[in-house]
Amino acid sequence: MRLLVTGGAGFIGSAFIRLVLGTNPSVSILNLDKLTYAGNLENLECVAGNPRYRFVRGDICDTALVNRVLEEWPVDAIVHFAAESHVDRSILSPEPVFETNLRGTFTLLEAARRRRVQRFLHVSTDEVYGSIPEPYAADESYPLRPASPYSASKAGSDLLALSYFTTYRLPVVVTRASNNYGPYQFPEKLIPLMISNALEGKPLPVYGDGMNVRDWLYVDDHCRAILAALEKGREGEVYNIGGNCSLPNIEVVRKILKATGRGEDLIRFVTDRPGHDRRYALSSEKIMRETGWSPQVAFENGIQQTIAWYQENAGWVARVKSGEYQNYYALNYGSREEIR
């Protein structure tokens, strides 16, 4: 089987490539990635010499390039991770989000339709459902109420992908996962940012009252679910992928401080994110029932493994935090005030 993976140099895409090449000797992968600030070939050093792996640097919005790649290297399936993936950046600068998440997905869908690709797995997010009131959990028929430019672009691209199934019978499967965490995550998202700041003894900026709830999913559990959906998911269907681990942000932050041996004096409650979704909660009953997948990594274990990885990979962290990251950090956090 030959796979085109987009965005494979990012956090989840690289975990997927490492997992598939490590466990599936009959699969070859071509990774198409633009290498934005979030793409990092260091994440793929362990597969770089693998004869079943190829890398092409390029933009998924580049129609000629996407068509050329698929012509020169015909694939059975596309697993589409590439995205601008961060809510805060999407608030500060929405245009790249629109370009990659909407235009890029459109470009890939068109190329896949013309080449009659046998499977198009579109990797999406639970954020498309927006904030979910207690005590509900969204199943796949829950209304889409995205609140940020990021989540709106993902909702738009989900619907576009599904329309290619309905209209052109392109065999699309959409997955919607909850918040991922694990090794190699860029330290702009909550968990890696808090771990790396705690390890450096820097303040931990918690938005608002810290009571926003996220459902945490270990990245390898997510990748196993994507494989399950790729192999067993039904065409034209959406599959939620949750970690079954809902926690308020402040609890996550306290666990990280405890595990890194730091005190709660590092916590700073700062100006909230505009349009901040209060709570995400997912029902993953459908993918569990149809594919047999279930999350295997409990949060207590996953967070220990993740912290250990960041401790052991200080060089990786230092490199990704140099340069552009410093500008982003100043822009996103510099004007936030401490609120209590």
Using CB under 6 A as the criterion, what x/- string covers residues 155-194 for binding ligand NAD? ----------------------x-xx-----x--------
Partner from ligand TYD, ligand NAD, none contacting 10, C-beta within 5 to 8 A by type: ligand NAD
3-state helix, strand, coil in the chain (%, to 5): 45, 20, 35
Phi and psi torsions of 22, nearest 5°: -75, -25
Using CB under 6 A as the criterion, what x/- string covers residues 159-188 for binding ligand TYD? --------------------x---------
150 is catalytic: yes
In angstroms, how far is CA 312 from the centroid of its own chain?
23
Asked if 152 and 126 count as a contact pair (C-beta separation under 8 A), the reply is no
255 vs 258: CA distance, rounded Å: 5
Binding region for ligand NAD (CB under 6 A) out of 10-18, 19-27, 287-295, 315-323: 10-18
Using CB under 6 A as the criterion, what x/- string covers residues 65-104 for binding ligand NAD? ----------------xxxxx--------------x---x
For β-strands 119-125 and 28-33, DSSP reports them as unpaired
Q: Which of 33, 84, 88, 126 is catalytic?
A: 126
Asked if 90 and 97 count as a contact pair (C-beta separation under 8 A), the reply is yes
Asked if 219 and 181 count as a contact pair (C-beta separation under 8 A), the reply is yes
> How far apart are CB 162 and ligand TYD at their closest, in Å?
22
State yes or no: residue 35 binds ligand NAD (CB under 6 A). Answer: yes
Phi and psi torsions of 301, nearest 5°: -75, -45
Positions touching ligand TYD (CB under 6 A) are: 87-88, 127, 179, 189-190, 193, 205-207, 212, 214, 249, 273
